[in-house]
Amino acid sequence: MDNLILVGMPCSGKTTVGQILAEKIKMEFFDSDDYIKSKTQKSIEDIFSEYGEGYFRELERDVILDEISVFHNTIVSTGGGMPTKFDNMERLKKCGTVIYLKNTVENLNERLDRKNRPLFKDPNAIKTLEELLNTRNSIYEKADIIIDCASATPEEICDKILVSINSMNIHF
């Protein structure tokens, strides 16, 4: 298990933190949403509108089976819903150390770019966020490491991750 897999809500900082952390500890970086966009030549929003959420979640599962499962020394940023469908969280845990970037609804709402987030198009996005977080939180909390990101910068979050990894004697 030499991968670090970042999970959490949309806008929790998975991509930003993952890129900084990868550079800091000299690991590869992989963003599952970017991979899906590249593979399909479509935006996530277009995939949702043309094929539906179910199809997108199947694409995410395929990414675990076909890509993440063969990675080594890679930091993976997952889509927010990836760990919550099928048996994806269990599969992710077999691929590496899963780290939940936990944040508050208020912080997530401030960061939300509604234009590019299919699940948050409605004007009541904060209510949607809150409901989604309540639904997903029990799955996210199955992660090996939980990092409180509420008032931390991406660099501080990286430092918290490194402290947690070191305390668990995880070596890369």
What residues does each domain of the chain span? 4-161
pLDDT of residue 79: 95
The answer to whether 108 and 14 have CB atoms below 8 angstroms apart is: no
pLDDT score of 160: 98
| Residues annotated in a binding site for substrate | 33, 57, 80, 136
Binding residues: 11-16, 33, 57, 80, 117, 136
- Annotation: binding site for ATP: 11-16, 117
Could you tell me which CATH class the domain 4-161 is placed in? alpha beta
Residue 120: the pLDDT is 61
State residue 64 phi and psi, 5-degree precision: -65, -50
Q: What is the pLDDT of residue 134?
A: 96
Q: How far apart, in Å, are the Cα atoms of 56 and each of 28, 32, 103, 112, 165?
A: 24, 12, 24, 20, 31
Q: What is the pLDDT of residue 2?
A: 86
Task: Say what the pTM is.
Answer: 0.92
Q: Which residue in the block uniquely carries the two structure tokens 């947690």?
A: 164
Dihedral pair phi/psi, residue 85, rounded to 5°: -110, 155
State the binding site for Mg(2+). 15
- Per-residue confidence (pLDDT) for residue 106, from 0 to 100: 87
State the 10-residue block means of pLDDT for the chain, 172 residues long.
91 96 97 97 95 96 94 96 95 97 90 62 78 96 97 97 92 70
Helix 154-167, helix 14-25: angle, nearest 10: 60
